[in-house]
């Protein structure tokens, strides 16, 4: 056997096709029974197995329930329930990746030929060692198809990345490649694929298959493989750029938060025990964030603060009203005190020393009136200063200016 090509590229990612939930036109359903399934785990279960514990750890750290992941990591990352086709997130991450691996083609390694049987052995060895070689690529579906023109593998896996922010375990191709030792940047995927092709070449050589030299223009890739390879590079580059942008945004948020904290500390130092007025408290309402609440304050907490501010303002208004009323009462009281002083002066020459002393001991205006009424035997109809004064004039206890002039 001589000169067989090796095809190792990215597949479309259709689990329904791989597991033969339907049969395409190029599938011989009479040979489907000969297919070999190495791994078959529903994607929903795979995501729970891989990320379930990380979600629990993440939720345990959250103090607010609306920040917790409630519907599983898949829906959190991709905005929909798990399905059998590849889903791409807004940051270009894919729900899973697929490699299609093939030795030869239908002309030199067609199903039913002796070479196809050897190729099947090589592909089986490659498939069963894939997970051990790639610990960050969690294989959840791995199938060898014999019911098409040439034996080939569909290996479906989820890239597992360990992160310092957010969930400690996430779906992330770039970080997964870095953790497995293939470095960073757009060449990481090509270094990984080159290693995998070398593994397959060595397996083929051990089974007596001679591998055709790579074409110079595209290295070891066929035209379609090379196109997929370039697409992979573009995807990884977008992933990297999106990750850098997320990191930059996170740093900016952290810097903003730090500045806000420093400003708050400075403000607290300046306040130094002072109490905010109700108007200052109410002014806080103008500092709501886009989300509709104060920074680090829930809407319910804000409503409570606002209600307190409104109540304080109402109380301040009531206090202002009472102060004004008190001022009026003080003014009236001063007038009454002046009247009382005048009455006291007018009576001192007419009453006995004993009664004068009793009056001096009574500073309250109304008490003095009541005492005078009792001493002088005045009836209960007299209730104020003017009436009492008139009564005293009539009884001759007080001399008016006109009476003095007549004398």
Q: Give pLDDT tens digits for 288-316.
A: 444 444 454 455 555 655 666 566 566 56
Q: How much is the average pLDDT of 67-94?
A: 92
How far, in Å, CA of 180 to CA of 136, rounded?
A: 7
pTM higher than 0.85, yes or no? no
Residue reference for tokens 């104060």: 294
Burial class (CB in 10 A: 0-12, 13-18, 19+), 14: middle
Return d(Cα 8, Cα 123) in angstroms, integer: 11
Residue with the bigger pLDDT between 369 and 242: it is 242
Whole-number percent of the chain with pLDDT over 70:
53
CB 11 within 8 A of CB 154: yes
119-151 pLDDT, tens digit each: 999 999 999 999 999 999 999 999 999 999 999
168: nearest Cα among 69, 63, 64, 45:
69
Residue located via tokens 């003017």? 386
Residues sharing a CB contact under 8 Å with residue 63, sequence separation 6 or more, in sequence order: none
- Phi and psi at residue 145, in whole multiples of 5°? -95, 125
Phi, psi of 403 (to 5 degrees): -65, -40
| Domains recognised in the chain with CATH numbers | 6-249 (3.30.930.30), 275-333 (no CATH), 348-406 (no CATH)
pLDDT at residue 275, rounded to an integer: 46
**18 Cβ partners below 8 Å, 6+ apart?**
98, 141, 143, 145, 154, 156
- The pLDDT, as a whole number, for residue 403 is 55
Tell me the C-alpha distance between 324 and 329, whole Å: 9
339 pLDDT more than 70: no
What pLDDT, in 10s, does the model give residues 93-117?
999 999 999 999 988 999 999 999 9
Q: Give residue 218's pLDDT.
A: 47
d(CA 159, CA 94): 9
Report whether pLDDT(321) > 80. Answer: no
Q: What Cα–Cα distance (Å) separates residue 193 from each residue in 99, 127, 177, 180, 339?
A: 10, 14, 11, 12, 109
Checking if the pLDDT of 1 tops 50, the result is: no
Kindly report the backbone phi and psi dihedral angles of residue 303, in degrees, each rounded to the nearest multiple of 5, phi listed first.
-60, -40
- The reported pLDDT for the residue numbered 334 is 61
Half-sphere exposure of 254 (CA within 13 A, CB side): 7
């Amino acid at each position: 056997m001589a000169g067989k090509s090796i095809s190792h590229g990215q597949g479309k990612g259709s689990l329904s096709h791989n597991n033969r939930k339907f049969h395409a036109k190029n599938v011989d359903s009479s040979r489907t029974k000969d297919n070999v399934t190495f791994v078959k785990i529903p994607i929903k279960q795979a995501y729970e197995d891989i990320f379930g514990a990380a979600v629990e750890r993440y939720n345990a750290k959250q103090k607010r329930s609306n920040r917790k992941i409630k519907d599983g990591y898949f829906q959190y990352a991709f905005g929909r329930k798990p399905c059998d086709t590849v889903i791409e997130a807004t940051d270009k991450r894919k729900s899973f990746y697929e490699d299609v691996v093939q030795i030869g083609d239908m002309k030199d390694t067609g199903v039913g030929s002796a070479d196809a049987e050897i190729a099947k052995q090589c592909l089986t060895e490659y498939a069963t060692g894939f997970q051990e070689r790639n610990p960050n690529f969690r294989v959840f579906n791995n199938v060898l198809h014999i019911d098409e023109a040439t034996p080939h593998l569909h290996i479906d896996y989820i890239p597992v990345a360990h992160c310092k922010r957010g969930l400690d375990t996430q779906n992330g191709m770039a970080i997964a490649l870095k953790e497995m030792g293939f470095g960073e940047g757009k060449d990481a995927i090509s270094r990984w694929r080159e290693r995998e092709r070398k593994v397959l070449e060595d397996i083929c050589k051990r089974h007596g298959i001679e591998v055709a030299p790579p074409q110079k223009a595209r290295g070891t890739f066929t035209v379609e493989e090379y196109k997929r390879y370039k697409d992979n590079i573009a995807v990884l580059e977008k992933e990297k750029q999106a990750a850098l942008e997320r990191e930059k945004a996170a740093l900016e948020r952290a810097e903003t938060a730090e500045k806000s904290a420093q400003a708050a500390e400075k403000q607290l130092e300046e306040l130094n025990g002072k109490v905010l007025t109700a108007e200052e408290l109410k002014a806080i309402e103008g500092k709501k964030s886009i989300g509709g609440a104060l920074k680090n304050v829930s809407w319910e907490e804000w409503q409570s603060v606002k209600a307190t501010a409104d109540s304080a303002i109402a109380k301040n208004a009531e206090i202002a009203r009472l102060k004004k009323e008190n001022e009026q009462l003080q003014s009236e009281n001063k007038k009454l005190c002046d009247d009382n002083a005048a009455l006291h002066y007018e009576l001192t020459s007419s009453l006995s020393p004993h009664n004068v002393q009793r009056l001096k001991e009574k500073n309250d205006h109304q008490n003095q009136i009541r005492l005078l009424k009792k001493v002088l035997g005045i009836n209960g109809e007299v209730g104020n200063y003017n009436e009492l004064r008139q009564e005293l004039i009539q009884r001759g206890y007080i001399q008016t200016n006109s009476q003095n002039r007549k004398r």
